[in-house]
Amino acid sequence: MCDTKPSRRTFLKSIGTAAGVTLVPLTAVAELQSGERDIAETPPEGKPDYALRIATVPIEVSRKRIISATTYNGQFPGPLLRLREGRQVIVDVHNDTDTPEQLHWHGQIVPDNIDGAAEEGTPFIPPHGMRRIALTPRPSGFRFYHTHVRAGADLSAGQYGGQVGPVYIEPAHNPGNYDREVFLVLKEFQPSFSRGGDMAQDFLSPAGEIPELKERGEAAMKASLARGMQHGYEVGYDSFTINGKMLGHGEPIRVKQGERVLLHVLNGSATEIRSLALPGHTFEVVALDGNPVPNPAHVSALWIGTAERVSAIVEMNHPGVWILGDLSDDDRHHGMGIVVEYAGHNGHPQWVAPTAARWSYARFARPGATPQKPDATFEMTFRKENAADAGFNRWTINGAAYPDMQGTMPASFHLKQGQRYRIRMRNESDDIHPVHLHRHTFEIAGYAGKPMAGVMKDVMMLGGYQEAEIDFVADNPGLTLFHCHQQLHMDYGFMTLFDYV
Ligand SMILES: [Cu+2]
């Protein structure tokens, strides 16, 4: 049992040198003809529109703390790529590390050979090599790019490092009801393992647990502990950052009274769910995962699962110097925050906890609407086998864990192009799972037994012992990965494949 993972470990052996890193600035070249929508099998020659270089470098998260992380272009977060919907760009991805890499275009509708997942058959970016891709960005909105390799027990690999960068795809028409935009990437560094200790978070609404799921989940855990197993490993962190800086160490967000600031917030964490509040202000949530919501609503705090994005307008109408920070005192004290400073104000930044409020996707849904009927429904049950894989929790979908390899396998679910599908998910564990569907956008069709419609996403948090439904149209042929975005969960089995038949 304890030797189930050596292939992955040796495969992903990481490097730690920063010597000789060459930073390649983003290079804008002549615009390509906007009529070129098709993905060329062989991308055009010549200069790329963008170059991204993967390398391990020192990152200064605070004056006294310089850590080592694998990043894009020597910076964290990676450069903001502002793309135009439907206008093809050429991107060169250089890999200066000793291990094969994948760059995933999260939230975009792209072919499987460039999506950036080995499970879908995307070729690796070889160590000390380069891969050129031709990308036609879509749909418009806030997307991102990140590594998509499995890390397993290697806490310097995968999303534990600094390979995260924002993408903004300009829509054809921008309503632009704001004064300016600020991009915020939330990310922890310096990970370590602990046994158990993953805190229960009960911020999701509706809160209804399914008794049958709870009974089975608790019985499995009890039986495991009775056999003498300890709790499976979880990951914790020493440094918490926004845009790569611990609270108080980066430049503040400088605002003027009366400004409407559009925040684009990305949770770039490997494993954590984040929250965010700004004392005396509310967030008007206008988009989730980059997709405009049918019912923009004001909330006092944001909750953002791993890889989720929230775009929210804050009206700056409460002058002072404030901390825009995580609700967790411990995480905020370890850096998860950024200062918001009004013009003409100075002094020590203030934090005031907001009154507790639950986070409900339904709040942003089309009021009173029910989802369209699907053509077919897939059932998925998520289960945890405590510490079953060399001390790590093993995760299964309908009883099967994705095998320990970085490559593809026969798909478990089959799609017909043009059909509308529903995935009914049942979570038989106490953990929250930010589930992600590649290469498609889904609609949340129901949460905890309550139907809803109009909220389009690519990641959704499913609460402990809860159930939910997501709908999607099979409109992008090719292998399609579905997985939990929590790195530990996906690495230890929580993945499955769809194909088109
Ligand atoms: Cu999970």
Quickly state the pLDDT bin for 482 (edges 50, 70, 90). Answer: very high
- The tens digit of pLDDT for each residue in 181-200 reads 999 999 999 999 998 766 66
pLDDT of residue 426: 98
pLDDT of residue 199: 63
Centroid of ligand 1 to alpha carbon of 34 (angstroms): 39
Closest by CA to 60, choosing from 239, 197, 193, 221, is 239
| 133-147 mean pLDDT | 97
Cβ neighbours of 164 (radius 10 Å): 26
Place of tokens 């909220």: 455
| 57-68 mean pLDDT | 97
**Residue 122 · residue 406 · CB < 8 Å:** no
- Listed in sequence order, the residues at least 6 apart from 175 whose beta carbon sits closer than 8 Å to its beta carbon are none
Centroid of ligand 1 to alpha carbon of 489 (angstroms): 5
Pair of tokens at residue 427: 């979570």
**How far is Cα 169 from Cα 2, in angstroms, rounded to an integer?**
45
Centroid of ligand 1 to alpha carbon of 272 (angstroms): 10
**Residue 312 · residue 281 · CB < 8 Å:** no
Pair of tokens at residue 172: 């054809």
Centroid of ligand 1 to alpha carbon of 398 (angstroms): 14
- The tens digit of pLDDT for each residue in 341-399 reads 999 999 999 999 999 889 999 999 999 999 999 999 999 999 999 999 999 999 999 99
- The tens digit of pLDDT for each residue in 100-118 reads 999 999 999 999 999 999 9
Cis peptide before 139 (omega within 30 of 0): yes
The secondary structure of residue 143, as a DSSP letter, is: E
- Of 5-9, 163-167, 203-207, 274-278, give the lowest mean pLDDT range: 5-9
Centroid of ligand 1 to alpha carbon of 428 (angstroms): 11
Centroid of ligand 1 to alpha carbon of 83 (angstroms): 31
Cross-strand bridge partners of residue 147: 103
The secondary structure of residue 330, as a DSSP letter, is: H
Quickly state the pLDDT bin for 171 (edges 50, 70, 90). Answer: confident
Centroid of ligand 1 to alpha carbon of 145 (angstroms): 20
**How far is Cα 97 from Cα 126, in angstroms, rounded to an integer?**
9
| 149-159 mean pLDDT | 96
pLDDT of residue 44: 83
190 φψ region: left (φ > 0), alpha (ψ -120 to 50), beta (else): left
30 or 299, which is more confident? 299
pLDDT of residue 3: 32
Place of tokens 């005031």: 352
- The tens digit of pLDDT for each residue in 7-45 reads 332 222 222 222 222 222 222 222 222 333 334 457 888
Pair of tokens at residue 162: 């600094």
Centroid of ligand 1 to alpha carbon of 36 (angstroms): 38
Centroid of ligand 1 to alpha carbon of 149 (angstroms): 16
Centroid of ligand 1 to alpha carbon of 109 (angstroms): 23
Q: What angle do CA 109, 476, 111 make, to 5 degrees?
A: 60
**Residue 363 · residue 275 · CB < 8 Å:** no
pLDDT of residue 356: 84
> Helix (H, G, I), strand (E, B), or coil: what is residue 413?
strand
Closest by CA to 488, choosing from 443, 445, 439, 429, is 429
Cβ neighbours of 46 (radius 10 Å): 8
Evaluate if pTM is beyond 0.85.
yes
Centroid of ligand 1 to alpha carbon of 233 (angstroms): 13
- The tens digit of pLDDT for each residue in 257-297 reads 999 999 999 999 999 999 999 999 999 999 999 999 999 99
216 or 17, which is more confident? 216
Cross-strand bridge partners of residue 263: 182, 312
Cβ neighbours of 259 (radius 10 Å): 16
pLDDT of residue 89: 97
| 204-220 mean pLDDT | 94
In the structure, ligand 1 is a single-atom ion and the residues with CB under 5 Å from it are 433, 484, 486, 489
